[in-house]
Amino acid sequence: MAEAAISDARRRNMAAIRGTNTKPELVLRRGLHAMGLRYRLHSRSLPGKPDLVFPGRRTVIFVNGCFWHGHACHLFKWPKTRADFWRTKIGGNIVRDQKVRAALAAVGWRVLDVWECALKGRERQPVDDVLQQCVAFLESDVATASIGHPQTVTISDDA
């Protein structure tokens, strides 16, 4: 009986986690908008439905949650329960992210990844610094970049 209650609570908790309009994404959106930059949100016409799309610059920004995208930082920790499920889920997310970035590059789009840990946690950077890095990327000719180190976990990682 207790197990069913825990799984119901877990199900409600997981259902409440948003994929769009997250706190890190909103911080970035507000800052870039205040700097005069205009963008489209979550364009369904592009692979991966990027968080911010700058059509005139053919540039997209993904604001990635460290847990869901398997970022190798202090905010990521492998769950102890249902380990096989989570390794499959997060590993699939990492593979999908790689395919999305390749598809965007193939059609001439530039991609910036902003990791959640760049905006929160013990490794966070000042918001103004993150915003300036975004602007620098937007004004450059660099094809891909990452704010926060670009490494993801490997499926064989233990913790």
pLDDT tens string 89-129:
999 999 999 999 999 999 999 999 999 999 998 989 999 99
CB 22 within 8 A of CB 63: yes
Backbone angles phi, psi at 110, to 5 degrees: -95, 145
Three-state DSSP class for residue 130: helix
pLDDT of residue 1: 45
User: Residue 25: helix, strand or coil by DSSP?
Assistant: helix
Cross-strand pairs, 152: 71
Region 52-64: mean pLDDT is 96
Averaged pLDDT for residues 24-41 = 96
The values of phi and psi at residue 146, to 5°, are -140, 135
Q: Are 46 and 58 in contact (CB under 8 A)?
A: no
Q: What is the value of pTM for the model shown?
A: 0.86
pLDDT above 90 coverage of the chain, percent = 72
Rounded to whole angstroms, the Cα distance separating 127 from 27 reads 8
Residues 75/155, Cβ–Cβ less than 8 Å: no
